[in-house]
Amino acid sequence: MKITFWGVRGSIPCPGPETVRYGGNTPCLELRVGENGRLIIIDAGSGMRPLGHRLMEDRPPGKALEADVYLTHTHWDHIMGLPFFPPLYHPETRLRIHGPVTYEDESLEEILGGQLTYRYFPVRQAELAAGIEYHTLKEGRFDLGGGVSLVTKYLNHPILCLGYRFEYRGKVLCTAYDTEPFRNIFCTDPSDPAYDEAMAREGDQV
C-alpha cells in the first residue's frame, strides 16, 4: 500500500510561500494497492489536477487508465479538481466514481454534473471522453476485490459525509476529515467519571 498526498488543504486552494512544504491544493489522495498498483483516488479537490498530469505522463501509449474515485462528500473543495483532471478528456480512461448523496432524489452524476455546464465551465459533462460510472455509497462494509476491503462511516458535517477505512493485507488507510463529535463530549463537571469514558468511545470510533 502506497499513499501520495496531492492535496491536503480545506475550503480553498492556498498556494504561496507559507504552504510550500505541504502544498496548497485541496484534498486529493492517491492510494496504490497490490503488486499491479491498483489505483484508488480519494476526493477530487484541486490536487486532482497535478495527479492527472502525472498519470498521463506515466501511462504507456494506448494503455487504458482505470481508477476508482471515492468522494468523502460533495462540498466544493472536494470536487473542484474533477473538471481539470486531464484523463477525463481521453477515451481510454475508465473511472468509477463513488460517494454519498445527501438527498435521495439527487444522483451523484447530477451533483457532479452541476459544475460541468456552460454556465460554469466550457465543457459539459456529456462531452467528456472518458467512460464514467457513478455509484452512490452509504455506511457499510464492502469487499472491493483483490484483497481490498472498505468500511464507511457517517461523519458529522452539514451534508452527508463518509469516513473511509481501506485495508489490504493488514495495512490500513483511514480518512476521517471534515467532521466533529456528534455531541459535546466535554462535560461541564471535570470530575464527572463519564468524561474519560466518553473520550475513549470517541477515540474507538476513529
Q: Is the pLDDT of residue 26 over 80?
A: yes
Predicted confidence band of residue 205 (pLDDT cuts 50, 70, 90): low
pLDDT of residue 119: 93
Domains of the chain: 2-175 (3.60.15.10), 181-206 (no CATH)
User: Sign of torsion, CA 172 176 181 182?
Assistant: negative
Model confidence pLDDT, tens digit, residues 144-187 = 999 999 999 999 888 889 999 999 999 999 999 888 776 655 55
pLDDT of residue 134: 96
- Percentage of the chain surpassing pLDDT 70? 88
For residue 15, the model assigns a pLDDT of 86
| Residue-by-residue DSSP string for 154-168 | E--SSS--EEEEEEE
Query: Predicted confidence band at 95 (pLDDT cuts at 50, 70, 90)?
Result: very high
Section 84-88 average pLDDT: 96
Q: For the chain, what is the mean pLDDT? A: 88
The average pLDDT across 26-52 equals: 96
User: DSSP readout, the chain?
Assistant: -EEEEEE---SS---SGGGTTT-SPPPEEEEEETTTTEEEEE--STTHHHHHHHHHHHSPTTPPEEEEEE-S---HHHHTTGGG-GGGGSTTEEEEEEE--SSTT--HHHHHHTTSSTTT-SS-GGG--SEEEEEE--SEEEEEETTEEEEEEE--SSS--EEEEEEETTEEEEE--S---SS--S-SSTT-THHHHHHHHHHHH-
| Local confidence band at 30 (pLDDT 50, 70, 90 cut-offs) | very high
- Give the mean model confidence (pLDDT) for residues 39-61: 94
pTM assigned to the model = 0.86
The confidence score (pLDDT) of residue 171 equals 94
What are the φ and ψ backbone dihedral angles of 106, each rounded to 5 degrees? Answer: -110, 140
Distance CA 45, CA 71 (A): 10
Q: Which of 90, 37, 46, 89 is nearest to 68 (CA)?
A: 37
Name which of 4, 54, 1 is nearest 30 in CA terms: 4
Mean pLDDT of 122-142: 95
- pLDDT: which is higher, 85 or 12: 85
Q: What is the pLDDT of residues 194-204, one digit of tens each?
A: 555 655 555 55
- The per-residue pLDDT for 159 is 87
Q: Listing from the earlier edge strand, what are the strands of the sheet with 28-33? A: 2-7, 28-33, 38-42, 65-70, 93-99, 131-136
Average pLDDT over residues 86-105: 92
